[in-house]
Structure 1
Amino acid sequence: MFDLKLSDITAWISDRGYSSVALQLPEGLKMRATEIIDFLSDNTDCSFVILGDPCYGACDLYVDYKDVADALVHFGHSPIPSQGDDGDVFYVESFFDTDIREHVKNILDELPEKVGLLATVQYVGCINQAKEVIESSGRKVSVGIGDKRIMYPGQILGCNCSAAESVANDVDMFLFIGEGDFHPLATAFGVGAPMRVLNPITGEFRSVDEVRDRILRKRFAAIQRAVPAESYLVIVCSKIGQERNALADDIINKIRSSRKKAYKVYMNEISPQGLMAYRVDAFVSTACPRLAMDDYSRYDKPVLTPIEAEVALGIREWDDYVFDAIRPE
């Protein structure tokens, strides 16, 4: 169902004559790591090593792969153009290769006149299928072009909805093709337009309004918990696509201008265990917004995004709350 491009990887390795290759996989594909190695080993003279640390996106690209191999195959994510191009890195987006036209036909009556189409990278190939069906009903379809962090038209990341922002004024509703809540919620917060989700595997069609409202209430509660804080630890992630040191310095200056203490820490993997030793009242994460949005319940102190920290400090009003996004430098 998801194309791992094993024949393409084989040809790439053979053409370039690599003797060793590292494999970086997200959690959902690690169960197939040994299967992938068995295939590649049978078809090349190369040796392989699995990079076992968690991998959340191309922002998490293992840049030190040359320490363990000649080249890197990164599975499950598209390149982030603003991070530059490395000829010794092969990206396998794992595109979904099933026709979703029938699922789209089943939801036509639920769609308005002007629809914006969005997807995560695995499902960007489904966008043209959906566009064909929706336009055949007489509706207008918009597929936005994102900024330099975005590889494909209509693609969104959990930290970047610029493809949606580029057409937000031209649509009545966005239709997100994919699974889960984080990506469509990030866009719903980012553009403020109605959002519906179509699961391309099951055909389920649903709203994210209730989940969005529940998360907003929890984010408001986290901000309120941080209002009395007198000391903050501002976290900078060292991952290539998440490092926002200048933003961290900016929020530190704002905290100190509010007559509170601020400290900065560099981390690669951010976890409750990694932060529990620090004697501060609250954390501000400049890493992936997902840390604060998804994992807040795992921390015994409030974890805020930089925008949320501004609200807690009284610099920004809650009515001006927006979702944190990572933009290209």
Structure 2
Amino acid sequence: MRVMHIHAKSTIDIRMPEEVLETLPSQRWGVVTTIQHEHKLSDILSQLRSALPAGQVLGCNAVAAQEVKDKVDGWLFVGSGVFHPIQVALKTGQKVWLWNPSTREFGILDEDLVEKFRAQKQGELSRFLHAKRVGIIVSTKIGQKNLVRALELSRKKDKEYYVFAVDELDMRRFEDFNFIDFWVNTACPRISDERSGMVNIDDLIDAGILKLEKEPMAYEVPIWKSSMGLKR
């Protein structure tokens, strides 16, 4: 199936009104946004003259923020919703302020919500340790395939591992494999937000639970570990 990707640029004014600017704390700001507003980021930078423009982030990819987090004290996210800024908060450990230019709403990302995500991840790591039969999810989509890493995990002897390759992931189908105690996701890391009993393979590595033998360049580089698809 052929796919055409069209860059739909927002035409709305993303500048913050004076009453919002007056509430911003004095600190070293980093600014991130989504692709719809990236071309207008200079309008925000003209209002926050000392701010550092990190650029575009995705819900699964905050590399742009991670690379410069030591140069800023907090973040301003320009866009809608909390899906993207939660990833920025999780990956940088810093507070994120939210400016929605469409609704003209301003606020700060709820730290309790961020902590809920962290606590959920810790709980799933513990469940993985106690599981005996583990299903490994591999996506066949471009930018999400992580097959080499999945196969290396499947060869470990500490548990029974089963590899499941999918293009479209339907959460309801998990019920067909009730012999699986726990799932390891090697595809988009935000998939695990939607289901308990699942952890991302990168979370296992970051926690020191799993150590893979190959050098990093031996693996496919998925979109959430690179600048693929990002405007910087």
Superposition TM-score, scaled by structure 1 size: 0.59
Distance 1:134 1:247, change over 3 A: same
Where do 4+ consecutive residues of structure 1 move more than 6 Å?
A: none
The aligned residue for residue 186 of structure 2 is: 286
- Unaligned 5+ segments in structure 1 are 1-63, 66-71, 75-91, 145-153, 317-323
Give the percent of matched residue pairs that are identical in Structure 1 and Structure 2.
25
- Unaligned 5+ segments in structure 2 are 212-222
2:56 to 155, 176, 180: 155
Alignment of 1:293-308 (within 5 A): 293=193, 295-296=194-195, 302-308=197-203
Structure 2: distance between partners of 1:102 and 1:311: 37
Give the Å deviation of 1:108.
Answer: 4.0
Partner amino acid, structure 1, of 2:105: E
2:123 to 221, 227, 233: 221
1:265 to 164, 168, 171: 164
For this pair of structures, how many residues does the alignment match?
215
- Deviations along 1:182-234, one digit per CA (max 9) or x if unpaired, are 21111111122222211111222222212101112222222333332001111
2:48 to 134, 138, 150: 134
Q: CA RMSD in A?
A: 2.4
Give the Å deviation of 1:94.
Answer: 1.8
Partner amino acid, structure 1, of 2:166: M
Superposition TM-score, scaled by structure 2 size: 0.82
The aligned residue for residue 194 of structure 1 is: 95
Distance 1:103 1:223, change over 3 A: farther
Contact 1:173 1:193 in 2 (8 A): yes
Structure 1: distance between partners of 2:15 and 2:66: 25
The aligned residue for residue 119 of structure 1 is: 33
Give the Å deviation of 1:313.
Answer: 8.5
* The structure with more radius of gyration: 1
Contact 2:63 2:225 in 1 (8 A): no
- The structure showing larger relative contact order (alpha-carbon pairs under 8 Å, at least 6 residues apart) is 2
Give the Å deviation of 1:114.
Answer: 1.3
Partner amino acid, structure 2, of 1:284: V
